[in-house]
Amino acid sequence: MPDCKIYFESILFFMSRPKSRDDRASRLIDLIDRLGRLVRSQIHESGMVPAQWDALRYLARCNRFSNTPGALAKFLHATKGTVSQTLNALERKGLVTRQPDPVSGRVVRLALSAKGRALASRDPVPELSQHAETVLARDADTTERVLSGMLAEMQRAHGFKPFAVCHTCRHFQPDAKHGAPHWCGLLHEKLSESDSGALCAEHEAA
Ligand code: SF4
């Protein structure tokens, strides 16, 4: 629960009116930052640090081609050393396992343990999704266009990979005739329905 000071600050914050395009842009960034801080405060209450939750959330959502420490580091825009420390902490908590890939032994595959999956299902971010649904119901086009446009611009400006969900990739072939619901034209692998909604390190925008 926010204390009185935060509540009072929020009222003052929301009462201030944007005066120009620049004001509107900086106010939008402030709002996003405040939302992030609210989520982070809930994360701290769960006894985890944000980086650990980010890793847990990624592993709950990524596909089987993207469950490596390297892909996680790219997704988080973090160094391999930082990600390794995060994974060590998650392993000590019994939330994540590391196994050598059965085909290429040099590749390490990450997976959530049963305890990790249970914790990931209590992710505080979905509450934000519920609120987003309410806002999107009022003005879906503008809200989604502004936020996804900002994300794409930032990724382009800094040369980051997009890591979007599989079914929006240009290599995704729906209803392919390979005995599976879908097909990956890049990796030449069958894709299930759940694969089609997973994050992929190899994603390329359509
Ligand atoms: S279709 Fe694209 S996003 Fe999906 S698995 Fe293949 S490369 Fe990854």
pLDDT digits (tens, 9 = 90+) for 5-54: 444 444 444 444 545 667 778 888 888 888 888 888 877 877 888 899 99
pLDDT of residue 65: 93
Distance 162 CA to ligand 1 centre (A): 12
Average pLDDT over residues 94-113: 93
Atom of ligand 1 nearest to the CA of 187: 6
- CA angle (201 as vertex; 198, 204 as ends), nearest 5: 90
Average pLDDT over residues 44-72: 91
Average pLDDT over residues 127-136: 80
pLDDT of residue 171: 94
Is residue 158 predicted with pLDDT exceeding 60? yes
Task: pLDDT band for 164, please (50, 70, 90 cuts).
Answer: confident
pLDDT of residue 176: 67
Instruction: Output the ligand 1 site: residues, CB below 6 A.
Output: 63, 65, 166, 169, 171-172, 184, 186-187, 200, 202-203
- In this structure, what token pair is assigned to residue 150? 């900002």
Give 199 or 30, the one with higher predicted confidence: 199
Residue-averaged pLDDT of the chain: 83
pLDDT of residue 19: 54
Q: Which of 191, 180, 205, 170 lies closest to 63 in space, CA to CA?
A: 191
Q: Cα(188)–Cα(3) distance, rounded to whole angstroms?
A: 54
pLDDT of residue 200: 93
Distance 160 CA to ligand 1 centre (A): 17
Sequence-distant (≥ 6) Cβ neighbours of residue 63 within 8 angstroms: 166, 195, 198, 199, 200
Domain boundary assignment for the chain? 162-206
pLDDT of residue 117: 94
Return the residue whose CA atom lies nearest to atom 4 of ligand 1.
Answer: 166
For a mutational test of ligand 1's pocket, the pick from 182, 186, 192, i.e. the residue with the most ligand atoms closer than 8 A to its C-beta, is 186
Q: Cα(55)–Cα(136) distance, rounded to whole angstroms?
A: 27
Is residue 4 predicted with pLDDT exceeding 70? no
